[in-house]
Amino acid sequence: MPELIVDLEGAKKFLREKQAKTAIVQIPEGLKTKTTQIIDQLKGTCENVFVKMDPCFGACDLPLNDMKALNADAVIHIGHGVIHSHKNIIYIPCHYDLGEKEIEKNVSGLLKELEKRKINSVALVSNVQYSNALPGIKEKLFRHGIKSFIGKGTSRIATQGQVLGCNYSVVEEVQPAVQASVYFGDGYFHPMGLVFSTKKPVIVVNPLHGTVEEISEKNRDRFMRKRFAAIAKASQAKKFGIIVTVKSGQRQKEKALKLKEAIERHGKQAYLLEMDLVVESYMTGIGVDCLVNTACNRIVLDDSDNWKTLIINPTECLIAIGEKTWEEWVPDEFPH
């Protein structure tokens, strides 16, 4: 199985150049088992290296407050591409180094699936860990008569063809030219976002398992039914709690204030709730009928079944109070 490569040379150079005395290293959940190895590799480059142990799911969550609290000179953010540049933060996105043979094998599985579905044009996407493989896949598909498009995306996107769980702009920009989206990578988190964000088939090529599968047919209708049921329920709510996170790339104070105004215009009550990590257990006994989440949209789209209080996204709230129509449903994105 291919190994995930964490190249820390850039981080070492960055710490030396900055003459950093105190640094914070942010490691994504999937890589925490490598924590001590990572810190050992940074030895000699900075006097005090702290590992941030709070969960980190994206580059939308930079430890800016921790920097101030610990008087840190630098942050090494591992595992994600840049969302916001910051002079004291270096991003070390990891990637899988897939061999030519592995890519060839995956492309041949993909070609069979495309042939079966009579698809000859696709949007080619991945998360940042696999995006270096996309140009090679594009070339191979082209040799077999398949047109593939690798979008550039908005300013929150670090590499071509990259998707975030909350940003599918690389697919949106090529939608008119394609019949389907092909996600190259492991896991379902990112491809499920494609299912919510597009109306065309979503094919997942998993190079770690060697599998190819279409996932939108069985998931899209069921997902939309759930969202519409939640909106219908929210339309009966009288008291709303609007959640604003303080996380660096998820903070949406202005959006929350506008939502509050809109809710109150309709004779309902709205309360502003501020927090860092948005978790269900912190909401016990809050006494509202419905929560509106302005932080990561996936908290609602993937996890609302596990919340005791009804929780919806901002666009869904506007539909529920009658300021938008059902046809206007979208998975809320952050401003670009």
Nearest residue relative to ligand SF4 (C-beta): 165
Minimum gap (Å) between residue 59 Cβ and ligand SF4: 7
Cα–Cα distance measured from residue 246 to residue 276, given in angstroms and rounded to the nearest whole number: 5
- Between CA 160 and CA 199, with CA 223 as vertex, the angle to 5 degrees is 45
Contacting ligand SF4 (CB under 6 A), which of 151, 153, 165, 201?
A: 165
57 binds ligand SF4 (CB under 6 A): yes
Residue 252: CB minimum distance to ligand SF4, A: 11
Q: How far is the CB of 249 from ligand SF4 (least distance, A)?
A: 6
Nearest distance from C-beta of residue 296 to ligand SF4, angstroms: 3
- Degrees, nearest 5: CA angle 115-117-120: 60
Q: Return the number of the residue (106 or 167) whose C-beta is nearest ligand SF4.
A: 167
205 contacts: CB under 8 Å, gap ≥ 6:
106, 109, 110, 182, 183, 184, 185, 211, 212
Q: Which is nearer to ligand SF4, 83 or 146 (CB)?
A: 83
Judge whether 260 and 289 are in contact, CB under 8 Å.
Answer: no
8 A C-beta contact, residue 21 and residue 48? yes
Residue 296 is a binding residue for ligand SF4 (CB under 6 A): yes
Q: Identify whether the C-beta of residue 245 lies closer than 8 Å to the C-beta of residue 276.
A: yes
Task: Establish if 153 lies at the interface with ligand SF4 (CB under 6 A).
Answer: no
Q: Quick one: which H or E segment has residue 141?
A: helix 134-143
163 binds ligand SF4 (CB under 6 A): no
Tell me the per-residue interface mask from 222 to 261 with ligand SF4, x by CB under 6 A, - otherwise: ----------------------------x-----------
Interacting span for ligand SF4 (CB under 6 A) from 8-16, 56-64, 131-139, 209-217:
56-64
Nearest CB to ligand SF4, comparing residues 54 and 139 = 54
- C-alpha R_g of the chain: 22
Residue type, 179: Q
Instruction: Work out whether 314 is an interface residue with ligand SF4 (CB under 6 A).
Output: no
As a whole number of angstroms, the distance between CA 93 and CA 128 comes to 7
Read off φ and ψ for residue 27, nearest 5 degrees.
-120, 130
Beta-carbon count within 10 A of 270 CB? 21
CB of 251 to ligand SF4, least distance (A): 11
Provide the token pair at 129.
Answer: 């860990």
Does position 38 interact with ligand SF4 (CB under 6 A)? The reply is no
**Closer to ligand SF4 at the Cβ: 62 or 321?**
62
Q: Which residues bind ligand SF4 (CB under 6 A)?
A: 57-58, 60, 164-166, 250, 296, 298
